[in-house]
Homo-oligomer: A and B are copies of this chain.
Amino acid sequence: MITSAIIIIGNEILSGRTLDLNSNFIAKRCSKIGIKLCEIKIIADNYKEIIKEVLKASKKYKHVFVTGGIGPTHDDITALAIARAFKRKLVLNKKAKELLKKHYENSNFELNKSRMKMAYLPSRATLIANPVSAAPGFKIKNVWVMAGVPKIMQSMFLESVEKKLKKGKIIFSRTVKVKKPEGDIADTLYKINKEYSDLDIGSYPFYKPPDIGTNIVFRCSNKKILEKVIKKFCKLLKNRDIEFTVD
């Protein structure tokens, strides 16, 4: 089992100003490549908090995905905090400098002192390519640090991070959409969950009147078992004359 955690750094998420989209994107990709996401934590742009949380997650999980706080402004303190967390110095990374130079030579913007800050990374960090705006993310030990802007983060993850991750056991997932509130099928679910306790069976009611019902999500690494359980569950629903569809 390849485990992971996400740490989102951003006052703007905690104030409610911005809806966090990064963790959902990473969560989906992790599911796709068989990496188990165990927790998501959203913390403030706070030096000590970043150090504490990154170290804790780095010890506990195989991978830690961090987003936010690697830009050129005063509130971008992630690189410095993570350098300190791993007792490394923040140094001018020559490769990062070259990438920035090349990018800004071909743009209408100037590679000023503020922007050059983005080339200062923890010593011995590996770069994460940024196909959108050049300023790289970085990897240190098992911690992957990416931009906070969703479009940039996504391109970093897809083009660079994901290619370097070892794939795990894929968990297949199927959803049975039942046209009944979950209270009406809870007993049937108990039965099937007890018989197949290895499976992860989630019950997610939806409530958009007149569309009221429950999505039952079955997750399992063995496709055959998954199909067998789905079949059995559907039979139980049919026996009770309950309408459903299978995705």
Residue numbers of A with Cβ under 8 A of B are 11-21, 23-31, 37-45, 49, 71-76, 109-110, 112-115, 117, 132-133, 149, 151-152, 171, 173, 181-184, 186-187, 189-190, 193-194, 200-208, 217, 219
Contact of A41 among B21, B41, B187 (CB under 8 A): B41
Pair A15/B173 contact, Cβ less than 8 Å: yes
**In the complex, which residues of chain B have a beta carbon less than 8 angstroms from the beta carbon of A204?**
12, 18
Residues of A contacting B: mostly = mixed
**In the complex, which residues of chain B have a beta carbon less than 8 angstroms from the beta carbon of A115?**
183, 186
With A71-B203, A114-B187, A202-B75 already in contact, the answer to whether A19 and B17 are too (CB < 8 A) is no
Pair A21/B19 contact, Cβ less than 8 Å: yes
Pair B12/A37 contact, Cβ less than 8 Å: no
| Docked complex Cα distance between A207 and B130 (Å) | 14
| Docked complex Cα distance between A99 and B236 (Å) | 31
Contact of A201 among B18, B38, B74 (CB under 8 A): B74
With A18-B204, A30-B16 already in contact, the answer to whether A186 and B73 are too (CB < 8 A) is yes
With A72-B183, A114-B183 already in contact, the answer to whether A16 and B28 are too (CB < 8 A) is yes
Number of identical monomers bound together in the oligomeric complex: 2
**In the complex, which residues of chain B have a beta carbon less than 8 angstroms from the beta carbon of A151?**
207-208
For A191, the closest partner residue in chain B by CB is: B74
Tell me how far the C-beta of A110 lies from the nearest C-beta in chain B, rounded to whole angstroms: 8
**In the complex, which residues of chain B have a beta carbon less than 8 angstroms from the beta carbon of A189?**
73-74
Residue contacts A-B, CB under 8 angstroms, 11 given = A12-B204, A15-B171, A15-B219, A17-B173, A23-B42, A39-B42, A41-B41, A112-B186, A112-B187, A114-B184, A115-B186
For A200, the closest partner residue in chain B by CB is: B11
For A21, the closest partner residue in chain B by CB is: B19
